[in-house]
Chains A and B, each alone.
Chain A
């Protein structure tokens, strides 16, 4: 897999969630995703950026335009050093929330992406990677 372009963004305020959406859009356009696929990955980015802010206490996102086997895609890596998720499997279930949301963020983002990977350690933080391919 080759990385064609990389952008990074700190997520500290709700304005940064908007910035994360806009940057994801730019990158999705660059790798030529269809309108529906763009909308899906931007929405997933919005959910995960908000999770990073609300539950992770802020963090960062790295957005890559990648290429593998002649296909292009956009890959997002969210990272925070917040409290972490004790039970990832439960957190992925719709309707599960420890906050004020609807509990759709993590599971919803997983459904909207082609690839989803999560690693979380209580007390250390959470890392989520999603990708959407053309």
Chain B
């Protein structure tokens, strides 16, 4: 079965969705990401959906699930690159992706994750002091 590649990028995992995903592929990505967060000790997950022409309720639920599971595993999920037409359609569909952080592009998404990492390291310093 096809798999969507997951790349390691510093402390984060980067997923670029470039194909029109069928449902099984989306489910496989959810499972793969969960195990890689643990095996790579990842602190963040960046999902680039700039190539996606639509996000329907199934993909929306997948993004919500990934964000929820990664949060429990102490990693932040940021969805980047959503097309404006996709955002308009998602809201009308009734999906607000309230549990998912979003950023306009990969750079800003990475900055979000790094910002959180820096903040938590700073908090650790405070405890040591």
Contacts and interface: CB of A to CB of B under 8 A. Distances in A.
Given A104-B94, A111-B93, A39 B22 contact: no
A55 to B, nearest CB: 14
Interface in B75-122: 83-86, 88-89, 92-95
A21 B53 CA distance: 10
Interface stretch (A41-49, A57-65, A83-91, A116-124): A41-49
Nearest to B60: A102
Contact of B57 (A14, A17, A18, A108): A108
B22 A43 contact: no
A47 B93 CA distance: 10
B57 A112 contact: no
Nearest to A24: B54
A101 B62 CA distance: 11
A108 B93 contact: yes
A100 to B, nearest CB: 9
A112 B92 contact: yes
Contacts of B85: 35-36, 38-39
A105 interface: yes
Nearest to A101: B57
Interface residues of A, number: 26
A56 B36 CA distance: 36
Contacts of A107: 94
A102 B83 CA distance: 22
A7 interface: no
Q: Which of A36, A39, A101 has the most CB of B within 10 A?
A: A39
Interface in B1-54: 20-24, 53-54
B54 A43 contact: yes
A40 B24 CA distance: 23
A80 B55 CA distance: 24
B57 A40 contact: no
B56 interface: yes
A58 to B, nearest CB: 14
B58 A101 contact: yes
8 contacts: A18-B20, A36-B89, A39-B83, A43-B54, A43-B56, A47-B57, A102-B95, A104-B57
